[in-house]
Structure 1
Amino acid sequence: MEREQRHKVIMRTIDRPGITRIDALTELTGVSAVTIRRDLVELEQAGFLARTHGGAKRVPKRGTPQPFAVRQAEDREAKRILAQATAQLIADDEAVIFDNGTTCQAVAQELAGRPITALCLSLHSAVALGSRAGTNVFIPGGPVENDSLALSGPAVITALRDFSADVVILGSCSTSLEHGLATTTYDDAENKRAAIHAANRRILVVAARKLNHVSTFRFADVAVLHQLVTTTDAPREILAEIRDLGVQVITVPAPDGQRS
């Protein structure tokens, strides 16, 4: 079966709910598992699917926010490793903005107890940082989103404008050289823009699978970043292009067994 035909078969199969196994795809296409793995890499880099251990699954439509519990369960070990690496980039006594999101929450857990001043855009990060003495934790006013516990509204933007941060720790739903950094909701994008303007240094912490994907609400170009922290299974050609923009790319080993 030719490459283009295989890709069509894979995409039709992946479009069903759940995880499609590599062995099922080899049976459908009549090619080796090595060839299927190569096809999955190409399709993931194009943003059509997400690889898993032993298979692949479809990616959500770009405008679909995922429930917080689902996002928290994804890439759990990778987030822990990324959080450890990111925490090492933060110096004592710095003023830090923590973006909304499960990866930023993981970074907050790593920094709990450190002598920093933190402005948190979600209650999850605020609770993580406040669980140990030593950290000054602030949250802006405004409504709290029921699922993610993210704060939104004019009070958040005002708080960010009045906060002079040394660094912001950002999350994104997708990171694309062509389409920039993006998220799935308008309010979240507005918060991220204001946080970027409030900080002298901008660190994006992102799982490898979110590179070269696209979401609905763009909030910045990749070039605004100072540092990007991801895992070593990220596509090398994309990381090289990001480095060419002047962004320091920091990679940490991907968890064992995360990728097939």
Structure 2
Amino acid sequence: MSDEALPDLAPLRDWFTSYCGSFRTPDLEQQRNFDLKEEHTRNVCRDASLIAHGMGPRFEMLAQIAALCHDLGRFPQFRDYHTFKDSESLNHAHLSAQVMKQHRLLDFLPGADRACIETAVRMHNAFQVPQGLPAVTTDLLKLLRDADKLDIWRVFIEYFNAPEDQRASGAGLGFPDLPGCSTEPLAAVAAGQMVQLSTLKSLNDFKLLQVSWIYDINFPATLRLIRQRSVLERFEVMLPRDPEVLEVLAQVGRYLDDRLHQTGN
């Protein structure tokens, strides 16, 4: 597809609005979670545009479509299982790819573009980016993961700071609000690694997991947005002031500074 012949995405955006509307319910608690995911998707679209800026009109279009479709599976997931925790329901990214195919959302695109977007959507929640994908698919997947993290951080910060009766119940994944942080998540961050979801025991551990995502950022534009939005600083005030916690936070801060310095920011 040449950049001159890019399709209008307005029909796809209209479809997404109708799709969200199809899940409307008088159950306020459930609707709060659906609203959370609709707002999240729109913000991921915004952040995907910020990151993709300057990477070419065609790639920017692919980024917009992938961002709009990446969490389609979250809606039936929460309707059917009342959780956003994949391990207690199903893989929401795989379900998002199924929804795209079921509704033939990408039929207006050439086959190569469809395959690229489908892979990015299906793999966006993988622990790591798999090896051996085509270069454009790898770039799109990395961009989608970056944009997704940027807004998940916002969602969680707002969740933690909201009164308990106004929180979208799914955002905390059901972890108990216990004091301190567990040994395994602390050790992973100290080792410069992402925290595994399976090692979490508490809400504080979940915060550490999200801090560790900074190790998995791909694009300089994302690093700049992390700094501009004070993501690390906002998590610091939500975590215990234990010496071992403060040390790993300082380490992540040094890592972020180094990455920004390397990219000339």
Q: TM-score, normalised by structure 1?
A: 0.30
Higher strand share: 1
Q: TM-score, normalised by structure 2?
A: 0.30
Higher helix share: 2
